[in-house]
Copies of this chain bind each other. A is one copy, B any other.
Amino acid sequence: MKLYSYFRSSAAFRVRIALNLKGLDYDTIPVHLLRSGGEQHGESYRALNPEKLVPTLIDDGADNDGQAALAQSLAIIEYLEETQPQPPLLPSSAVDRAHVRGLALAIACDIHPLNNLRVLRYLSRELKLEEAARNDWYRHWCMQGLTALEARLSGDHRTGQFCYGDAPSLADCCLVPQIFNARRVDCDLSGMPTVLRIFDACMRLEAFERATPAQQPDAE
């Protein structure tokens, strides 16, 4: 498998964690989102990923009829879950699977899209926002989303060492990159003991540590 990745992309970071948790080998193909006007805008990457976003996963082994370039981090992780079920990243019951997917989507839909590179660029270039106002924006959505996540996790009996029970799941694959982002803009996470406890539990695992931005071949 090949993963088109950028060391700092949270979406790529999620997939790296899932690949590591499942013990899958992969080659990283770096796509530098800033260099030369953004390598994601180049013709060859756009042919793979018309959204011009990372990550893209290529599964050479898939019976794919020439269509194994997979986009969207959560779709990729669901694909890994279906093709490489062990260890599972989703629970077995439908209600609990919806719970874990709901936690993941609360991050992937309601926090991260507001904080990614192209949005921050729009704030700066089109809306002429200074860095301080951009950081306020970033923190606002991080804090709002993570505060809700803390409420959900701390109030649910299914929360364990990790977001769901005592093994990492799809939800943890999304939580950890989001905390890295929150810390980059100095969010005050002191009111989120459950979120932070789970983050620390994740970071004690080699699968998470090896997926961090600093450990990537394209890290700066």
| Interface residues in chain A, defined as those with a beta carbon under 8 Å from any beta carbon in chain B | 50-53, 59, 62-64, 67-68, 70-72, 74-76, 78-79, 82-83, 93-95, 97-99, 101-102, 104-106, 108-110, 112-114, 119, 122, 126-127, 129, 133, 136-137, 140, 145, 148-149, 151-152, 155-158
Q: What is the distance, in angstroms, from A43's C-beta to the closest C-beta of chain B?
A: 12
Task: Please tell me if the beta carbons of A78 and B97 are within 8 angstroms of each other in the complex.
Answer: yes
Contact (A133, B137) CB under 8 Å given A70-B95, A71-B102, A95-B68 = no
Chain B residues positioned under 8 Å from A155 (CB to CB): 50
Interchain CB contact under 8 A, A158 and B95: no
Within the complex, the shortest CB–CB distance from A57 to chain B, in Å, comes to 9
The winner among A79, A95, A99 for most chain B CB atoms within 10 A is A95
